[in-house]
């Protein structure tokens, strides 16, 4: 059965897109057919694979407003077994246009029905908000993965996120499960990272992945070259971290 994993945190700058891009890539490297859905109007997952956001014929906005079907918007990437449904700034309009639609929270779930059987994993890169797009992702998902940065205010807003997940589970998607929390941007030179990690572990307990994503220059550089870390520097610590995270995810 396909697993649909929404990668969610309403805060920006927590390594959400980095995790979406490189975890999807790592799962494909492990021979799983994987689809990455870019549900962020900023389109950073899209540009991370070298796709021009301005030259897209079909993208996730077209799918959500029924102008296109999911398979028509899907693009192959340079990584075998990994495809992407791209995004661009047009998606900002979807929040407004979907408000008047019947069953507006389920548009993404309906759209993915026709393609989800073709993949082992579908990962959704959500926008940094708890608006209608993120609600659509949580309604479509089987699982939620939460990236938490090991910096100041790491847990700020987390209770609001968890409450939203509980409401979605109660009213729209009873099968929704938090598959885990991954700590990102960990700098082992800083005592702050150690203290934040300790606090996050105390808060989430067994939901924490044992894999930590360390702060890594190569991870930061790769998107500017339009490449996931495995095509930019496969020997980097960032690549090793995401391969380990993918391995751990498969066991959950």
Query: How confident is the model at residue 138, as a pLDDT?
Result: 98
In the block, which residue shows the tokens 């900023």? 42
Tens-place pLDDT, residues 115-167: 999 999 999 999 999 999 999 999 999 999 999 999 888 888 899 999 999 99
**Which pLDDT score, from 0 to 100, does residue 120 have?**
98
Least confident of 25-29, 44-48, 54-58, 191-195: 54-58
Encode pLDDT of 32-89 as tens digits: 999 999 999 999 999 999 999 888 889 999 999 999 999 999 999 999 999 999 999 9
Show me where the domains of the chain are located. Answer: 3-251
How far apart are alpha carbons 245 and 117 in whole angstroms? 24
| Helix (H), strand (E) at residue 172 | none
pLDDT at residue 226 greater than cutoff 90: yes
CA 130, CA 135: separation in Å to the nearest integer?
Answer: 7
3-251 topology per CATH: Rossmann fold (3.40.50)
Predicted structure pTM score: 0.96
What pLDDT does residue 157 have?
Answer: 85
Spatial separation of the C-alpha atoms in residues 209 and 188, rounded to whole Å: 17
Binned at pLDDT 50, 70 and 90, residue 95 comes out as confident
The dihedrals phi and psi of 183, each to the nearest 5 degrees, come to: -85, 130
Q: What percent of the chain has pLDDT over 90?
A: 86
Q: 10 Å Cβ neighbour count for 55?
A: 7
């Amino acid at each position: 059965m396909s697993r649909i994993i929404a990668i969610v945190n309403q805060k920006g700058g927590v390594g959400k897109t980095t995790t979406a891009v490189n975890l999807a890539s790592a799962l494909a490297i492990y021979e799983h057919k994987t689809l990455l859905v870019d549900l962020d109007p900023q389109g950073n997952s899209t540009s991370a694979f070298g796709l021009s956001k301005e030259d897209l014929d079909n993208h996730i906005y077209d799918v959500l407003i029924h102008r296109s079907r999911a398979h028509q918007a899907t693009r192959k990437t340079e990584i075998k077994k990994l495809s992407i449904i791209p995004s661009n700034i047009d998606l900002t309009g979807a929040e407004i246009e979907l408000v008047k639609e019947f069953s507006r929270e389920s548009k993404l779930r309906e759209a993915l029905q026709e393609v989800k059987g073709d993949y082992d994993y579908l990962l959704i890169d959500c926008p940094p908000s708890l608006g209608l797009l993120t609600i659509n992702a949580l309604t479509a998902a089987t699982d939620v993965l939460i990236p938490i940065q090991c910096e100041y205010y790491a847990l700020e807003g987390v209770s609001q996120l968890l409450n939203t997940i509980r409401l979605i589970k109660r009213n729209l998607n009873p099968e929704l499960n938090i598959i885990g929390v991954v700590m990102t941007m960990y700098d082992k030179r800083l005592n702050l990272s150690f203290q934040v990690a300790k606090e996050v572990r105390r808060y989430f307990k067994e939901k924490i992945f044992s894999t930590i994503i360390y702060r890594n220059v190569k991870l930061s550089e790769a998107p500017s070259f339009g490449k996931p870390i495995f095509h930019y520097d496969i020997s980097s610590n960032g690549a090793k971290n995401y391969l380990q995270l993918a391995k751990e995810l498969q066991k959950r």
